[in-house]
């Protein structure tokens, strides 16, 4: 680079986050240059590069030189960051400045190479002052341009930026990605306290992703740039108890990755023997409390001093109902905030990003500046706000500049809506604390640089940025803010609360709304979100919609649920396919959308006839009236064989509310996962448990009435299937009571086999009542369903099963 610098301007080409800016700044420091960073963006015009129009206080317009032109006169090193983004026509304006060190500006000013300027000065015998009055200025001989760019993408549909015209403008240097040893050395030097094992795991995963040919894995590698790895290691050195996989999932925002990319990430994590994070359901159990004592805020295990602001009016005050999931997220955010990071919260709309940000700032007592972006946001509107005062247009500082000056927290909402080429200018502000405003002023991070210099805004040390964005892609139609700028922020994925947390929160919004209604809403919306994740429906219904429904029900309790949910779902009623999916999901959870008052289908009432005498007995009182007849009783110890342990299988099972579209005696139904040829032969209940016995093959199913899973034990080893038309088992089931809760007795009627089953452990014991029990099953009996005559089978009376005693008898015996 030093050799190139002797000859002409140069360009560094390298992947995102590989250290181009750092190399350029270090190079400038070695040679004693003042650096002038200029962030380029897509809709930048030649005017923005050279000269801009501005309005004088008296209403006249005038030209203002751009930072590039002033740098050329003062001999600075200009960093043109992002020449791959700019339109090729815009850059061609610089070709004369780069090749000949000459430039003609729009107001007639000319910049000349220093030797030509000297020759002209001697030829015309004019002083510097006179030439400057004639708008002729020299270009400083030390002036150099260092351009930074990302490599052109082969096979891209857009025009390649590296064309023949640009190739002649610079001397090119490639910045190759760092090798494992080099990257390890840098991370070790910058974060010496980071756990060694964690650093090694991180680097092995990163390089595995970078070196693969799989485009899905390579897209993940861009999220783990050197910059991001340093951030992860800084955090691990401060909080060594954190898991590496949690940091990686956070950096890649794995919650919003497509299925293919997520599975690729998990596979690579497994290959690098990085323990994947515990099941997120398990994390929910961690109770994170939040308290402020003696000016110290403590969220979970992290504490921070509460800020004492000058402008208390700007501290947000928000209604916020705490739940464990949001508190864990705030604890995570606080860790990054204390490390000095700028934050990015990504999530679907309506999951509470604004609420969490405002609540966090309220707890920290930090004043907030709020800036909402939109599709028409430009670089100018990001930094200046035009307003009309006394009939004159006045440009005021935008919330961004106010936050930088006063050290407030800048909350940038809907960051994904603005074009990424506009939000890219935030990169230099976050990275180096420098930025050029639309009116020519400059933000610098070092207060010493700002002293006594006009048009310089010093950045307050407390300034911090908190950016909120929707996940990229349909249906939000935003830009991929995370893809473009994700690695300069510390990213956090915000999700809807878990069902328990959401239910607790909704109870606080609607204290008078019944729990049954709230449960239906939480279950229905949970299912719709699952469908959105799988791609069945496009719009992910969020907590915001449920909260609005509950608020409505709280205020107007007389209004039916079906009517209220239409406020949310009517928009989708124009798409027939989506409408059918939505109605199906809502009906399943008992939300009667589309039901009519006439849909009542109850069974007919049949009037019973009056009672009449059928017959009578007379008790013979003669003779032996007082003689008592004693029946002989025998007691045997039951012979218990076993236990044999069989596998208890669990299947998810979905409750379908039956009273959604019409009103019947049926309340709900579940579909048991059994074979088509299987036949249910007995059903029994105990408290909230339901037991179903089937006989082809013999199988026992058990489920809780409010549960979402069914357990089953298959008993075809105990009752082997025989050839068609011969013995077919027919079983009845008796659930036992305390202290044998959850255990049942199974009785096979034809062989008189009695089994005792424990559905928790899968233990099966055979109970032998008497020695004659061991007779083989009758072989030549026709199957019970094809036989017309009654058979003398054994029966079990289970009336008193709850008291743990059963009666066995022989029918017609």
pLDDT at 475: 54
Which of 532 and 551 is assigned the larger pLDDT? 551
* Residue 593 counted as domain residue: no
What are the tens digits of pLDDT across the range 684-697? Answer: 998 888 999 998 88
pLDDT at 174: 93
Quote the tokens at residue 412. Answer: 């940038």
Confidence check: pLDDT of 13 > 90: yes
* Residue 71 counted as domain residue: yes
Confidence check: pLDDT of 713 > 60: yes
pLDDT at 367: 94
What are the tens digits of pLDDT across the range 638-673? Answer: 888 888 888 889 888 888 887 777 787 888 888 888
Confidence check: pLDDT of 155 > 70: no
How many other C-beta atoms can be found within 10 angstroms of the C-beta atom of residue 474?
9
Would you call 511 exposed, middle or buried from its count of C-beta atoms within 10 A (0-12, 13-18, 19+)?
exposed
Confidence of residue 334 (pLDDT cuts 50, 70, 90): very high
Verify that 414 and 539 share a domain, yes or no. Answer: no
pLDDT at 48: 81
CATH number at 95 reads 3.40.50.300
Confidence check: pLDDT of 534 > 60: yes
pLDDT at 726: 59
Confidence check: pLDDT of 541 > 50: yes
* Residue 651 counted as domain residue: yes
* Residue 602 counted as domain residue: no
What are the tens digits of pLDDT across the range 177-232? Answer: 888 888 889 888 988 888 888 888 888 888 888 888 887 777 788 788 888 888 89
Verify that 299 and 442 share a domain, yes or no. Answer: yes
Verify that 544 and 441 share a domain, yes or no. Answer: no
Verify that 373 and 299 share a domain, yes or no. Answer: yes
pLDDT at 119: 92
CB environment 186-216: b (16+ within 10 A), e (fewer): bbeeebeebbeebbebbbbbbbebbeeeeeb
pLDDT at 409: 94
Tokens 């700007």 belong to 314
pLDDT at 268: 87
Which of 361 and 631 is assigned the larger pLDDT? 361
What are the tens digits of pLDDT across the range 273-303? Answer: 887 654 444 444 567 788 888 889 888 888 8
* Residue 250 counted as domain residue: yes
Nearest to 75 by CA among 140, 157, 16: 140
How many other C-beta atoms can be found within 10 angstroms of the C-beta atom of residue 118?
12
Q: How many CA atoms lie within 13 A of 259 on its CB side?
A: 4
pLDDT at 473: 63
Verify that 482 and 550 share a domain, yes or no. Answer: no
Confidence check: pLDDT of 769 > 50: yes
As a whole number of angstroms, the distance between CA 406 and CA 458 comes to: 10
Q: What percent of the chain has pLDDT over 90?
A: 19
Verify that 295 and 391 share a domain, yes or no. Answer: yes
pLDDT at 625: 55
- Which one of 494, 521, 546 terminates a domain? 494
pLDDT at 78: 93
Rounded average pLDDT over 295-324: 88
- Which one of 217, 252, 277 terminates a domain? 277
What are the tens digits of pLDDT across the range 497-525? Answer: 888 888 988 999 999 988 888 988 898 88
What are the tens digits of pLDDT across the range 240-279? Answer: 888 888 888 888 888 888 788 888 888 888 888 887 654 4
Domain extent for 758: 639-810
Verify that 371 and 305 share a domain, yes or no. Answer: yes
- Domain count of the fold of the chain: 5
Verify that 184 and 298 share a domain, yes or no. Answer: no
* Residue 226 counted as domain residue: yes
- Which one of 522, 556, 588 terminates a domain? 588
User: What does the mean pLDDT of the chain come to?
Assistant: 84
Task: For Cα atoms 34, 40, 41, give the angle at the middle one, nearest 5 degrees.
Answer: 160
pLDDT at 173: 93
Task: Name, in order, each residue with C-beta under 8 angstroms of 307's C-beta and a sequence gap of 6 or more.
Answer: 364, 365, 366, 462
pLDDT at 286: 65
Verify that 263 and 197 share a domain, yes or no. Answer: yes
* Residue 45 counted as domain residue: yes
What are the tens digits of pLDDT across the range 371-410? Answer: 999 888 887 788 888 888 888 778 888 999 999 999 999 9
What are the tens digits of pLDDT across the range 579-592? Answer: 888 888 888 887 87
pLDDT at 780: 46
Verify that 316 and 256 share a domain, yes or no. Answer: no
As a whole number of angstroms, the distance between CA 657 and CA 583 comes to: 13
pTM of the model: 0.75
pLDDT at 456: 86
List strands edge to edge, sheet with 680-686. Answer: 648-652, 709-714, 698-704, 689-695, 680-686
Verify that 43 and 137 share a domain, yes or no. Answer: yes
Residue count of the chain, please give it: 813
Verify that 160 and 185 share a domain, yes or no. Answer: no
Confidence check: pLDDT of 790 > 60: no
* Residue 356 counted as domain residue: yes
Residue 388 contacts residue 452 (beta carbons within 8 Å): no
């Amino acid at each position: 680079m030093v050799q190139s610098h002797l000859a002409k301007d140069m360009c560094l080409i390298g992947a995102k986050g590989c250290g181009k800016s750092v190399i350029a700044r270090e190079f400038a420091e070695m040679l004693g240059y003042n650096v002038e960073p200029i962030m380029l963006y897509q809709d930048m015009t030649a005017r923005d590069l050279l000269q801009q129009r501005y309005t004088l206080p008296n209403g006249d317009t005038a030209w203002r030189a751009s930072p590039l032109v002033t740098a050329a006169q003062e001999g600075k090193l200009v960093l043109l960051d992002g020449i791959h983004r700019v339109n090729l026509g815009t850059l061609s304006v610089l070709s004369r400045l780069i090749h000949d060190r000459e430039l003609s500006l729009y107001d007639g000013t000319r910049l000349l190479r220093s030797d030509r300027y000297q020759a002209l000065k001697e030829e015309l015998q004019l002083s510097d002052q006179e030439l400057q009055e004639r708008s002729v200025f020299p270009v400083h001989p030390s002036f150099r341009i260092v351009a930074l760019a990302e490599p052109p993408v082969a096979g891209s549909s857009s025009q390649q930026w590296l064309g023949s015209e640009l190739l002649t403008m610079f001397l090119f240097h490639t910045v190759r990605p760092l090798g494992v040893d080099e990257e390890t050395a840098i991370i070790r030097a910058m974060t010496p306290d980071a756990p060694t094992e964690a650093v090694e795991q991180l680097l092995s995963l990163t390089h595995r992703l970078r070196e693969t040919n799989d485009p899905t894995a390579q897209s993940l590698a861009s999220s783990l740039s050197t910059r991001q790895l340093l951030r992860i290691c800084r955090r691990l050195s401060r909080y060594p108890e954190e898991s590496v996989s949690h940091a990686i999932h956070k950096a890649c925002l794995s919650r919003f990755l497509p299925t293919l990319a997520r599975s690729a990430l998990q596979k690579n994590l497994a290959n690098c023997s990085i323990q994947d994070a515990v099941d997120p359901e398990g994390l929910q159990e961690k109770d994170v409390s939040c308290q402020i004592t003696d000016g110290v805020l403590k969220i979970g295990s992290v504490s921070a001093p509460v800020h004492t602001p000058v402008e208390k009016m700007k501290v947000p005050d928000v209604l916020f109902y705490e739940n464990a999931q949001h508190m864990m997220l705030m604890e995570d955010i606080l860790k990054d905030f204390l490390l000095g990071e700028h934050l990015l919260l990504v999530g679907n709309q309506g999951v509470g990003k604004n609420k969490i940000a405002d609540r966090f700032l309220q707890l920290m007592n930090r004043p907030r500046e709020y800036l909402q972006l939109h599709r028409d946001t430009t670089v100018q509107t990001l930094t200046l706000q035009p307003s009309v005062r006394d009939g004159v247009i006045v440009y005021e500082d935008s919330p961004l500049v106010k936050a930088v000056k006063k050290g407030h927290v800048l909350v940038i909402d809907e960051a994904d809506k603005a074009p990424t080429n506009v939000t890219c200018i935030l990169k230099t502000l976050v990275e180096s604390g420098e930025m050029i405003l639309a009116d020519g002023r400059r933000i610098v991070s070092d207060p010493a640089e700002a002293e006594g210099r006009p048009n310089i805004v010093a950045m307050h040390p407390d300034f911090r940025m908190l950016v909120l964005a929707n996940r990229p892609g349909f249906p939000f139609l935003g830009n991929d803010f995370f893809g473009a700028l994700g690695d300069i922020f510390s990213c956090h994925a915000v999700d809807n609360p878990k069902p328990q947390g959401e239910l607790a929160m909704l109870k606080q919004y609607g204290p008078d709304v019944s729990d049954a209604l709230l449960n239906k809403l939480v279950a229905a919306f949970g299912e719709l979100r699952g469908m959105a994740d799988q791609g069945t429906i496009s719009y992910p219904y969020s907590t915001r919609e449920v909260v609005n429904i509950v608020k409505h029900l709280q205020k107007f309790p007389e209004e039916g649920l079906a009517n209220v949910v239409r406020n949310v779902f009517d928009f989708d009623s124009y798409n027939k396919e989506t409408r059918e999916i939505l109605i199906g999901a809502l009906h399943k959870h008992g939300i009667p959308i589309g039901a009519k008052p006439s849909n009542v289908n109850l069974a007919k009432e049949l009037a019973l006839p009056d009672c009449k005498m059928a017959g009578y007995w007379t008790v013979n009182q003669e003779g032996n009236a007082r003689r008592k007849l004693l029946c002989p009783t025998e007691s045997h110890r039951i012979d218990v064989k076993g236990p044999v342990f069989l596998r208890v299988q669990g299947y998810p099972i979905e409750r379908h509310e039956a009273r959604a579209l019409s009103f019947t005696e049926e309340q709900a139904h579940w579909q048991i996962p059994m074979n088509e040829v299987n036949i249910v032969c007995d059903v029994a209940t105990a408290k909230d448990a339901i037991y179903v016995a089937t006989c082809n093959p013999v199988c026992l199913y058990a489920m809780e009435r409010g549960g979402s899973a069914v357990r089953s034990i298959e008993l075809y080893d105990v009752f082997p299937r025989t050839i068609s038309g011969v013995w077919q088992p027919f079983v009845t089931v008796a659930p036992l009571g305390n202290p044998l809760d959850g255990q049942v007795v199974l009785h096979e009627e034809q062989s008189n086999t009695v089994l005792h089953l424990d559905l928790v452990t899968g233990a099966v014991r055979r109970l032998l009542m008497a020695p004659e029990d061991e007779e083989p099953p009758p072989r030549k009996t026709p199957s019970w369903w094809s036989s017309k005559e009654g058979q003398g089978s054994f029966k079990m009376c289970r009336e008193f099963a709850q008291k743990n005693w059963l009666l066995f008898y022989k029918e017609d015996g």
